[in-house]
């Protein structure tokens, strides 16, 4: 997902203008992620939306809602929490925990000059993501682990984006993508 810098958006979504969109954090082929202010809980949130061109595409909506339902079950300190699902003015939204930081892809770009990458230090750095994956595998298989789907702030590292995950039921995996020949994600 591409980050949009300094692009200000003035828009409200939700009943009683609950969420004020402050900025666009990222944009991809499937949708956008916004930074927003939740006037009910008085905190910043991230809001993921489906691109409007997919508003009537049942397969895309099902994948989006599967991400929401799966993510709502995963309560781990190193997984970005999905707090709610919202349908407003014909569009679906995921209301998520806001992390004020950068993704691991950007972090690696900023720190490309680090030559001495001690394996033990790197393992300790990324270990919380392994723990989050281990926990998440009780509910799903992520299927899109990459630096762009790992966020860092000043205190933590987080796994995010379960958009093309599969739902596990016991030891059986049910694929949410009905047409297995289609490629989804990046």
Please give the positions annotated as active site: 144
Q: What share of the chain is helix, strand, coil (3-state, %, to 5)?
A: 25, 35, 40
Place of tokens 């059986």: 172
Q: Are 73 and 87 in contact (CB under 8 A)?
A: no
Which residue from 83, 95, 67, 80 is spatially nearest to 152, judged by alpha carbons? 80
How far, in Å, CA of 139 to CA of 71, rounded? 9
How far, in Å, CA of 173 to CA of 180, rounded? 14
End-to-end CA, the chain: 8
Distances (CA, A) of 70 to 35, 101, 165: 22, 24, 8
Beta bridge partners of 129: none
Nearest-Å Rg of the Cα atoms of the chain is 17
**Structure tokens given for 129:** 């993501």
């Amino acid at each position: 997902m591409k980050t949009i810098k300094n692009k200000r958006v003035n828009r409200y979504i939700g009943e009683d203008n609950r969420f004020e969109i402050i900025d666009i954090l990222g944009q991809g082929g499937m949708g956008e992620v916004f930074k927003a202010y939740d006037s009910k809980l008085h905190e910043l949130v991230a809001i993921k939306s489906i691109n409007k061109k997919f508003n009537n595409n049942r397969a895309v909506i099902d994948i989006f809602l599967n991400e929401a339902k799966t993510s709502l079950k995963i309560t781990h300190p190193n997984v970005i929490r999905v707090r709610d699902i919202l349908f407003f003015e014909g569009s679906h939204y995921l209301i998520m925990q806001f992390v004020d930081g950068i993704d691991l892809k950007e972090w690696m770009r900023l720190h490309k000059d680090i030559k001495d990458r001690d394996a033990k230090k790197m393992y300790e750095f990324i270990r919380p993501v392994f723990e989050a994956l281990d926990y998440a595998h009780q509910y799903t298989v992520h299927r899109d682990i990459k630096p762009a789907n790992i966020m860092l702030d000043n205190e933590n590292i987080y796994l995010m984006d379960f958009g093309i995950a599969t739902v596990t039921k016991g030891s059986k995996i049910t694929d949410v993508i009905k047409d297995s020949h289609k490629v989804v994600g990046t």
